[in-house]
Structure 1
């Protein structure tokens, strides 16, 4: 696959991606933006109580998109060139990001333990994470794309541990919808799982090189 090395093209790719993410994260607040009259009428406490799910969906989705952008920002900071394949994977990633305000709105309007809603939201998040993981793998496997600093910091295992836990959370949210989005708290185990799998991988590699 041909490697493209034009700085202007790469800058346009990054700037376009940042703009799309900024628009998507801004759209999250739209369901709450016209709430002024209701807040003035009901008071902040009652309004928050009546619209708890909307605030929860906004908060979760804002943090999720912010975290996804941070990973994207870090990975693209390692790149010294790009390929057409990376462009298309980046477009897939952006499509998932743009879809997230819709899934957040569906979640906020469906507070009654609906497995299909949880599957839609977590599935959107899973596909977004997979797109980012495939971009990182493409960057690692394409000669001339990765800087020396990026090669030292890149760790695909970290992404796979997050993906595995996210998939488990999605399955559990469908099977046990009474817990709902709280299954996403499993993602806090990603660092621990990464450490365990990393040690297992290193131990296996050391065992494989023994004379």
Structure 2
């Protein structure tokens, strides 16, 4: 009687119940993290409901801004995680563990949001540092998840390694900007540190476009080297 290799036994194929359970669990944790963000919004006093200006002047505007930013951040993390896992043909113990580490940092985002959105702590450089470190670790953990999947051989359609390195460099622009904001916050204040994050609005799209072109060129060169003629996308 033939037996499958030990490594195959530890992989959960995409069409198995175990894969579906893990995928559902990961999605549920992201939903839970999004829900936790509302805890950072303190209910205003009764007197603050007399007018919109009084309501916003109670500090609610900063908490709502922090909620909106972190909601968007967690949603982006979920989309990235969904895209990564969607490219798996199976789950391995390594990818499950790596994903748990990644979502652990995501679950911490409501906590780190408290520091940068509360009027009593928003001006503290430490609040900026904690938030920046949390986001940076979450991004790096997501990147590590992909490389664990590649190492374990569960990627459905792996790209050339040069293409993966190009994508990694693009990903590293996010933690780089967040980490740079920490010394800026301590040197010039928390507001300056937070404004540093706005660089992502410019740097992100530019880096993304350049990376997409580089990856396409690498894939075409790899196909040519293999003697395969690449067809343009429909």
Question: What is the TM-score normalised by the length of structure 1?
Answer: 0.81
Does residue 192 (structure 1) correspond to residue 202 (structure 2)? The answer is no
Considering only aligned residues, what root-mean-square deviation do their CA atoms show, in Å? 2.9
Partner of 1:137: 147
> Compared with structure 1, are the counterparts of its residues 56 and 85 closer, same or farther at alpha carbon in structure 2 (3 Å cutoff)?
same
Does structure 2 conserve the Cα–Cα contact (< 8 Å) formed by 1:10 and 1:81? yes
- The number of residue pairs the alignment matches comes to 201
| Residue 126 (structure 1) aligned to one of 114, 122, 136 | 136
Inter-partner Cα distance in structure 2 for 1:76 and 1:39: 46
Partner of 1:70: 79
Post-superposition offset of 1:116: 1.6
Inter-partner Cα distance in structure 2 for 1:46 and 1:182: 26
Post-superposition offset of 1:9: 1.1
Question: What is the TM-score normalised by the length of structure 2?
Answer: 0.74
Spell out, residue by residue over 1:94-114, the C-alpha distance to the aligned partner (whole angstroms, 9 max, x if none): 1111111110112122222x2
| Residue 116 (structure 1) aligned to one of 126, 132, 148 | 126
Inter-partner Cα distance in structure 1 for 2:48 and 2:140: 40
Partner of 1:84: 93
Spell out, residue by residue over 1:48-82, the C-alpha distance to the aligned partner (whole angstroms, 9 max, x if none): 23322212211110000000000011111111101
Inter-partner Cα distance in structure 2 for 1:187 and 1:196: 15
Does structure 2 conserve the Cα–Cα contact (< 8 Å) formed by 1:58 and 1:104? yes
> Compared with structure 1, are the counterparts of its residues 33 and 2 closer, same or farther at alpha carbon in structure 2 (3 Å cutoff)?
farther
Post-superposition offset of 1:182: 1.8
Spell out, residue by residue over 1:91-139, the C-alpha distance to the aligned partner (whole angstroms, 9 max, x if none): 1111111111110112122222x22211100110010011110111222
Q: How does 1:1-211 map to 2 (within 5 A)?
A: 2-3=7-8, 4-6=11-13, 7-32=16-41, 34-35=43-44, 37=46, 39-40=48-49, 42-51=50-59, 52-109=61-118, 110-112=121-123, 114-143=124-153, 145-148=154-157, 151=159, 155=164, 157-175=166-184, 176-177=188-189, 178-188=191-201, 189-196=203-210
Does structure 1 conserve the Cα–Cα contact (< 8 Å) formed by 2:98 and 2:141? yes
Q: Which has the higher contact order (CA 8 A, sep 6+)?
A: 1
Does structure 1 conserve the Cα–Cα contact (< 8 Å) formed by 2:139 and 2:175? no
Does structure 2 conserve the Cα–Cα contact (< 8 Å) formed by 1:53 and 1:108? yes
Does structure 2 conserve the Cα–Cα contact (< 8 Å) formed by 1:157 and 1:194? no
Does structure 2 conserve the Cα–Cα contact (< 8 Å) formed by 1:72 and 1:132? yes
Spell out, residue by residue over 1:158-183, the C-alpha distance to the aligned partner (whole angstroms, 9 max, x if none): 34323234323332343243413121
Give unmatched runs, 5+ long, in structure 2: 1-5, 226-234
Does structure 2 conserve the Cα–Cα contact (< 8 Å) formed by 1:118 and 1:174? no
SS at match of 2:12: coil
